[in-house]
Amino acid sequence: MQLFVKDRSFYSSLIHIAIPVSLQGLVMFGVNVTDTVMVGSLGEFAIAGVALANQFSFLYQITCFGIAGGMGVLTAQFWGKKDREAIGAGLSIIIKLAFCFGLLFLIAAAFFPKYIMGIYSTDTQVQIEGAAYLRMLSFSYLFLGLTTMIASTLRSVGVVKLTLLTNCIALVLNIFFNWIFIFGNLGAPRMGTAGASLATTICRIVEVTIVLIFLLKMDDRIRFRLRMLLRWERDIFRNYLRNGVPVIVSDIFLGVGGNMISVVLGRMGAAVMSAAAIANTIFQLTLVFLMGVSSASGVITGNTIGAGEFKKVREYGKTFLVLAIMVSFLSILCIQVVKVAIFHQFQIGSATFQAFNVEDSTKELASQLINTLSFLAVFITLSQILTKGILRAGGDTRFLLIADVLFLWVVSVPLGFITGLYLNWPPYLVFFFLRIDEVIKCIWCLFRFFSWKWIRDVAVR
């Protein structure tokens, strides 16, 4: 069995998509590390509060990914057919959907932040810190939704450098405004965790401004115009309901499942939640490389199916699996290097600097959780490449709905609640059981991949 395709155009497309997206992931990692480190200087309650508040925000973000990903299945195949009109109509549909969901999340976070934080944690101080952060962050949701819809559509037609540019700008601005509003510099009030969310909101406004200017004034592929928002293409919407809605439902259930994981960890104490926040931030290094290969696998697979070259789809898929394994081992190495560096004390002049102002016991917990994630890295990487890249681009969205939801809710979430809240097992074991669905899903999806039943042309009008 040939593992690597001998097609230069394949590797050219892979590099064109994967490198900018991976760099984008690296920049996003930098943004998250900056937030975690700068908020981390405020103590464990601040870290835990912001981490839990971000889980609610992540629920909206994953909903946006579902909305965009559902249309991305069609967009990539439409681009293979060079049907620009259909792509523009699809973008119009998902922008409206993202706005409706964004409005609901904004109202919830702006007016009921304490209630939301009470779901995640029983610690009063954690609730106060998280509510302050969440209330201010709520105004960024509409901007985030619009940016996600546009960036996803552009990525499906091969425009990937734009998002990298916007994330680089966001990184610089985020550091600057965090410095101002968290700590009260340049005459601004000292806002603490609320200052971090204000900085994020400003960055979201800048991001959406950049992508809108590009889409409406500079893009020559989709050729989208504001008047298209007044249109509603019924045939494309019906196709979206058949093939895209399973993606939305799947991602929403994944988002809610991720929130259940945070509920378990949050109720195990502020130290455990702080350790999990640190571990997850470092683990995002895995996503840096994974984002690139996953995006490339989805776009290339979808474009190839749209062009009717089904034999190439099989060859490309095998190569992507091998690349995923290579990426996972590279990620493990990076995670371990960063783990050592991030807990190391640095001497700057007469002052000693450390990234996280937490107890030694919390650092030990974080180290154990990082090691657990390192063990799971191969399974998580393969699972993500298959579910968010190859199989999804092939239009196998109903199968993936079952794969994403079944094992998370029937295995991981119940085991997490039992081991964490009733049996009081060690946090690293609870953490493992909360992610064990990735192991099962990886094996199950590999069988589906080699059945080749997932290859379907769904971009029909």
- Write the pLDDT tens digit of every residue in 164-203: 788 888 888 888 998 898 888 888 888 887 888 888 889 8
Q: Which residues contact 258 (CB under 8 A, 6 or more apart)?
A: 55, 58, 59, 62
Which residue range(s) make up the domain with 433?
Answer: 8-449
Instruction: Establish if 326 belongs to a structural domain.
Output: yes
Instruction: Establish if 393 belongs to a structural domain.
Output: yes
How does residue 136 score in pLDDT terms, banded at 50, 70 and 90? confident
- Write the pLDDT tens digit of every residue in 100-112: 999 999 999 999 9
How does residue 32 score in pLDDT terms, banded at 50, 70 and 90? low
State the chain's mean pLDDT as an integer. Answer: 82
Instruction: Establish if 165 belongs to a structural domain.
Output: yes
- Write the pLDDT tens digit of every residue in 315-358: 888 888 888 888 888 888 877 877 776 665 544 444 444 555 56
Range with top average pLDDT, 239-248, 279-288, 444-453 = 444-453
Helix, strand, coil percent content, the chain, rounded in steps of 5:
80, 0, 15
Instruction: Establish if 461 belongs to a structural domain.
Output: no
Instruction: Establish if 456 belongs to a structural domain.
Output: no
Number of domains comprising the chain: 1
How does residue 441 score in pLDDT terms, banded at 50, 70 and 90? very high
Taking residues 241-245, what's their average pLDDT? Answer: 78
pTM for this entry: 0.71
Strand partners, 346: 353
Is residue 368 scored above 90 in pLDDT? no
pLDDT of residue 238: 84
Instruction: Establish if 431 belongs to a structural domain.
Output: yes
Instruction: Establish if 91 belongs to a structural domain.
Output: yes
pLDDT of residue 352: 47
Which among 392, 459, 396 is positioned nearest to 81, based on CA atoms? 459
Burial of 234 (C-beta count, 10 Å sphere; 0-12/13-18/19+): exposed
φ, ψ for residue 6 (rounded to 5)? -105, 65
pLDDT of residue 353: 45
Instruction: Establish if 460 belongs to a structural domain.
Output: no
pLDDT of residue 139: 87
pLDDT of residue 446: 93
List the single range of 57-71, 280-294, 303-317 with lowest mean pLDDT. Answer: 280-294
Give the DSSP H or E segment for 376. Answer: helix 360-384
